[in-house]
Amino acid sequence: MHTAKWSDIEGKAVTDPGAEGVTIRVLMGDNVGAPTFTMRHFEIAPGGRTPFHAHAWEHEVYILSGRGKVRQKDGEREVGPGSFVYVPGDEEHNFANAGDTPFTFLCVIPASLPCIK
């Protein structure tokens, strides 16, 4: 068993094209030998966003704090603490901070990722 706090993990800036003000922390993945899926913690600063992109794997997202917008091909949805978002594989999406405090969420992905399409 492995126990820690999200804030114990050193955050890394996401430098993918289109990402702004995004910090990622891998909570449980290769670091604990997780075989099936990986839980990451994202923190998006006010004004920030993840890239609008698609990939073959799914996301399971749970919003922890702040106010955000989830964009998809045909529009946007507002989300806040207690919201969850399922993004199927191959569906375009991004997450943006829509408030003036950090927008934080968990995002779980498969441990083995296929090639980016």
Other Cβ atoms less than 10 A from the Cβ of 36: the count is 7
Judged by CB under 8 A, the residue of 13, 17, 86, 117 near a second copy is 86
Buried b (16+ CB within 10 A) or exposed e, 64-80: bebbbbbbeeeeeeebe
| Beta-carbon-side half-sphere exposure of residue 16 (alpha carbons within 13 Å) | 13
Q: Decide: is 10 part of the binding site for a second copy (CB under 8 A).
A: no
Cα of first residue to Cα of last residue in the chain, in angstroms, is 35
Q: Decide: is 72 part of the binding site for a second copy (CB under 8 A).
A: yes
Q: Which stretch binds a second copy (CB under 8 A): 10-18, 47-55, 81-89, 94-102?
A: 81-89
Judged by CB under 8 A, the residue of 45, 53, 64, 94 near a second copy is 64
Q: Decide: is 52 part of the binding site for a second copy (CB under 8 A).
A: no
Q: Are 111 and 36 in contact (CB under 8 A)?
A: yes
Q: Using CB under 8 A as the criterion, which residues of the chain lie in contact with a second copy when the complex forms?
A: 1-7, 27-28, 32-37, 39, 57-58, 60, 62, 64, 70, 72, 77, 79, 82-88, 91, 93, 106, 108, 110
